[in-house]
Amino acid sequence: ENAKANRVSRIQNTWKQLTSMSRGSILQILGLLWSHSVIGFGYFVLLSWVPTFLSSQVGMSSPRMLGLLSAVPFLTTAILACFVGNIADYLIVKRKWAVSATRRLMMVFSTLGPALGLAMLAMTPTQATFAPLYALIALTVSMGFQAFNYPGFHAYVQDVAGPSGNAGLLLSVTNTGGVIFGAVGNLLTGVMVEKTGTFASVFWSSSALYVLSFFVWCTIMTGEELK
């Protein structure tokens, strides 16, 4: 009974915190939810559909080459994440940049970078002999800039959560949005490709979502602690 009472008390406290939040804090949470949803949409779609795109649109038929070309963009993200994280820390600690300005800079790269890469993918010259190399470069640009999410979006969650101890809860909520939007993205991709016969509309749509995420971040995310 005590355990049940404690759970009820925690739920009531969480609900009280949510209903007493300022308008600015609510907007920031909605902005974080949107940004994470866009991240999930772009990541899930590329993770799930890159091999199909390369085989059906670019003409790659070798399973070994498909595996290699599909893996390179994601490996690029993993490698770059270490470097951009250090850059963000350097700007804050050594160059004395404001934390919010540093996070915003990281998010500029993590939104407009993938938008550029996805736009390049939408314009892939599928009939050209250099199409596989072009597609690889475009995919690497799109995924490589995702590395900026870690010192940008994910670190921002910890920043604005402050000492309240709700950073884990906040990230869990936004991640739920990312997973749901990513799953919806996979469903929509299948429908759009079946209807149009190409991935161009999928990549253009994804690019537009990232551009919108850029504007949301620049207008709503103030860096102030959630209250």
Measured CA to CA, the distance from residue 184 to residue 177 in angstroms comes to: 10
Tens of pLDDT along 40-96? 999 999 999 999 999 999 988 888 888 888 899 999 999 999 999 999 999 999 999
Distances from the Cα of 43 to the Cα of 106, 178, 199, 227, angstroms: 17, 9, 15, 31
Phi then psi for 60, rounded to 5 degrees?
A: -80, 125
If pLDDT is split at 50, 70 and 90, which confidence band does 19 have? low
Task: Return the pLDDT at 24.
Answer: 81
First to last CA, the chain: 32
Residues 6 or more apart whose CB falls under 8 angstroms from that of 67 comprise 51
Please give the single-letter amino acid code of residue 90: Y
* pLDDT of 20 over the 80 cut: no
CB 170 within 8 A of CB 157: yes
Task: Return the pLDDT at 9.
Answer: 72
Q: Which two tokens stand for residue 142?
A: 């799109």
Task: Return the pLDDT at 14.
Answer: 63
If pLDDT is split at 50, 70 and 90, which confidence band does 153 have? very high
What is the value of pTM for the model shown? 0.89
Provide the 8-state DSSP code for 131.
H
CB 157 within 8 A of CB 183: no
CB 223 within 8 A of CB 99: yes
Length of the chain: 227
Tens of pLDDT along 112-136? 999 999 999 999 998 888 999 999 9
Measured CA to CA, the distance from residue 66 to residue 54 in angstroms comes to: 7
Helix (H, G, I), strand (E, B) or coil at 94: coil
Provide the 8-state DSSP code for 154.
I
Measured CA to CA, the distance from residue 105 to residue 17 in angstroms comes to: 30
Measured CA to CA, the distance from residue 166 to residue 170 in angstroms comes to: 6
Measured CA to CA, the distance from residue 114 to residue 34 in angstroms comes to: 16
